[in-house]
């Protein structure tokens, strides 16, 4: 069984370059099929979820090839509009193919999405929003069947700023007839990146990054070349690793403007930061300071995807911290593993009280989902002694080469 082996307990020293964004790449790959032509994507991360998505696109009839770190996709001839169940059920982001398939083919079949077990993540908002644009959906035992022969613009107001539902509306509305007004839209940077990508192909979208997005449908899109932004969650993971393990690191290609809430927390933890263009230098000595009250919330609030890395870092903080999770109800699955390392954490409902301990101890650990798995890597790098982290495939879903990155920051790590 494949696992990571980490020898922790030493301060960080070195530098790493942040990969392309997973959460931006996946909706952009969904959007590619809206255009009957060729798309060139630079800085696309070679992670498991991207590779799954590319297999799905191949199943539709797309021609896909890598040229070094550049991805070239020709979607001129789509032959199928059914997402292969063997891939669709493995990843949550397969649901956003509904919007793009309906926009290109007028019909779609998508198996119920899978991925990490961090909560229910219902798709009701996706379905209700797509119906507003003219889609007819039938929920079958194994998946969703949808038809939308003539998508038309509409006013769509989301009950919650869901990232996935926002993306699905944008994908279908981009090629619908007329104007779509999307209210209470998600404001995450990945939404803005999707809109910028579509606009680079000739779409007409305004208001990305705000809660009100206006999409004027166009009849066709054109070829484009686009560079995907760096991954703010990967950057945040390494930033909290510096807080927990101490030492000094330099991170390159950091989306600084997207990480204000994270950098505020790091300042409270006593981490010194120096930014210069798209690089960030971090220093930390001794144990980090506790942070009294942190609540996850949609962007620009503290991201739920960094709650687990923060939890691991606060496990060795000086004092008691409180973390409240407001997005997903099962984000505290990592607590059991951290306790096995000596962490003192109590969970009541959606709130965790973390009483920092002087050190964690290396042991055998099991990753159960993507961000929690990355947090265990952080904990193992901080803890004294040797740790083994099983089910590494979860981590590889979002981190292109965490082994290389940690080695470049002075961590003894290998995959066995």
Please compute the mean of the pLDDT values over residues 72-80 and round it to a whole number. 95
Q: In the structure, what pLDDT confidence band is assigned to residue 1 with cuts at 50, 70 and 90?
A: low
For residue 374, give the nearest of 234, 254, 265, 259 by alpha carbon.
234
What percent of the chain has a predicted confidence (pLDDT) above 90? 87
Residue 328: both structure tokens together: 């997903």
Residue 155 in this model has a pLDDT that exceeds 70: yes
CB-based burial, 314-332: b 16+ in 10 Å, e otherwise = bbbbeeebebebbbbebbb
Sorted by where each begins, the domain ranges of the chain are 3-18+231-415, 22-227
Residues that are catalytic = 116
CATH topology of domain 22-227: UDP-n-acetylglucosamine1-carboxyvinyl-transferase; Chain (3.65.10)
Packing angle of the helix pair 163-173, 22-32 (nearest 10 deg): 30
For the cut 50, the answer to whether the pLDDT of residue 115 exceeds it is no
Q: What is the pLDDT of residue 118?
A: 39
Q: Is the pLDDT of residue 120 over 60?
A: no
281-309 confidence digits (pLDDT tens): 999 998 999 999 999 999 999 999 999 99
Residue 140's pLDDT is what? Answer: 85
User: What's the whole-number mean pLDDT along residues 339-368?
Assistant: 97
Cβ contact 385:5 at 8 Å: no
How large is the average pLDDT for residues 87-93?
Answer: 73
User: What's residue 145's pLDDT?
Assistant: 92
Q: Is the peptide bond before 300 cis (omega within 30 degrees of 0)?
A: yes
Q: Does domain 3-18+231-415 have CATH number 3.65.10.10?
A: yes
Q: Which pLDDT score is estimated for 116? A: 46
Distance CA 382, CA 281 (A): 19
pLDDT at 114 over 80: no
Question: What's the start-to-end Cα distance of the chain, in Å?
Answer: 8
Say yes or no to pLDDT of 247 above 60: yes
Q: Is the pLDDT of residue 24 over 80?
A: yes
Q: Which two tokens stand for residue 114?
A: 């899978």
pLDDT of residue 167 exceeding 90, the answer is yes
% the chain with pLDDT above 70? 97
Single pTM value for the model? 0.95
119: pLDDT confidence band, cut at 50, 70 and 90?
A: very low
Same fold: 3-18+231-415 with 22-227: yes
Task: Please give the structure tokens belonging to residue 243.
Answer: 């807080």
Q: Are 268 and 295 a contacting pair, CB within 8 Å?
A: no
């Amino acid at each position: 069984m494949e696992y990571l082996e980490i020898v922790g307990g030493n301060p960080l020293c070195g530098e790493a370059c942040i990969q392309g964004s997973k959460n931006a790449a996946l909706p952009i790959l969904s959007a590619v099929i809206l255009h009957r032509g060729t798309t060139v994507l630079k800085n696309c991360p070679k992670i498991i979820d991207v590779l799954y998505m590319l297999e799905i696109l191949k199943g539709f009839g797309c021609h896909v090839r890598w040229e070094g770190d550049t991805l070239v996709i020709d979607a001129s001839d789509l032959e199928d509009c059914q997402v292969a169940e063997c891939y669709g059920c493995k990843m949550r982001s397969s649901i956003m193919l509904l919007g793009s398939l309906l926009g290109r083919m007028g019909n779609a079949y998508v198996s119920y999405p899978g991925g990490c077990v961090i909560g229910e993540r219902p798709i009701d908002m996706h379905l209700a929003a797509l119906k507003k644009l003219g889609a007819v959906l039938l929920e079958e035992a194994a998946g969703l069947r949808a038809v939308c022969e003539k998508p038309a613009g509409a006013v769509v107001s989301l009950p919650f700023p869901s990232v996935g539902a926002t993306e699905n509306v944008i994908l279908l509305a981009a090629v619908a007839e007329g104007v779509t007004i999307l209210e209470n839209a998600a404001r995450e940077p990945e939404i803005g990146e999707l809109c910028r990508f579509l606009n680079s192909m000739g779409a007409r979208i305004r208001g990305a990054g705000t809660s009100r997005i206006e999409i004027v449908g166009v009849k066709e899109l054109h070829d484009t070349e686009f560079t995907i932004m760096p991954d703010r969650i990967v950057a945040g993971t390494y930033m909290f690793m510096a807080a927990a393990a101490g030492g000094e690191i330099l991170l390159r290609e950091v989306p600084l403007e997207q990480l204000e809430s994270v950098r505020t927390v790091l300042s409270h933890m006593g981490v010194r930061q120096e930014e210069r263009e798209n690089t960030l230098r971090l220093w930390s000595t001794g144990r980090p300071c506790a942070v009294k009250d942190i609540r996850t919330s949609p962007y620009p609030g503290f991201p739920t995807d960094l709650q687990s890395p923060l939890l691991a870092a606060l496990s060795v903080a000086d004092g008691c911290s409180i973390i409240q999770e407001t997005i997903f109800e099962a984000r505290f699955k990592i607590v059991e593993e951290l306790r096995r390392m000596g962490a003192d954490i109590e969970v009541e409902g959606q709130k965790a009280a973390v009483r920092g301990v002087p050190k964690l101890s290396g042991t055998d650990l099991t990753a159960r989902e993507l961000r929690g798995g990355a947090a265990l890597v952080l904990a193992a790098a901080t803890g004294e002694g040797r740790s083994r982290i099983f089910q590494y495939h979860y981590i590889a879903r979002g981190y292109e080469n965490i082994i290389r990155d940690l080695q470049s920051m002075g961590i003894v790590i290998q995959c066995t």
